[in-house]
Amino acid sequence: MAGGRAGSLKDPDVAELFFKDDPEKLFSDLREIGHGSFGAVYFARDVRNSEVVAIKKMSYSGKQSNEKWQDIIKEVRFLQKLRHPNTIQYRGCYLREHTAWLVMEYCLGSASDLLEGK
């Protein structure tokens, strides 16, 4: 593979998965709304158009950093292909300080709310 190890940002196929902008300049009013083993999910507002979004922050530093990075690449590739009116829309992914910011359409409730019939 060109550019070193698998999943390197030097690989154009990997680099194109991520926006180059600084997400801290694009999103404001971040408030944590959920937490899991992967990291945390935040409510936020896109400063460019005032759209409310959900941001899942996933760190890829520390233990098993390569495995975490590979999982992020897989998730971004999957989300980019997912296009259906009944799924949450993917807005893009940004990188900052060894953390991926996966930006999604914001929806009230959660998957567990749906399963419980709320």
Residues of the chain with pLDDT under 70: 1-6, 109-118
What is the count of structural domains for the chain? 1
Residue 99, domain extent: 12-107
57 is in an annotated binding site: yes
Asked if residue 5 is part of any domain, the answer here is no
| pLDDT confidence of residue 95 | 97
Q: Which DSSP string corresponds to 60-81?
A: --STTHHHHHHHHHHHHHHHHH
| pLDDT confidence of residue 116 | 63
Q: Are 72 and 61 in contact (CB under 8 A)?
A: no
CATH number, domain containing residue 95? 3.30.200.20
Name the nearest CA neighbour of 55 among 22, 77, 30: 30
Asked if residue 1 is part of any domain, the answer here is no
Query: pTM to 2 decimals?
Result: 0.84
For the chain, give me the number of helices (H) and strands (E)? Answer: 4, 5
Give the contacts of 73 (CB within 8 A, at least 6 positions apart): 7, 14, 17
Asked if residue 66 is part of any domain, the answer here is yes
Q: Are 41 and 35 in contact (CB under 8 A)?
A: yes
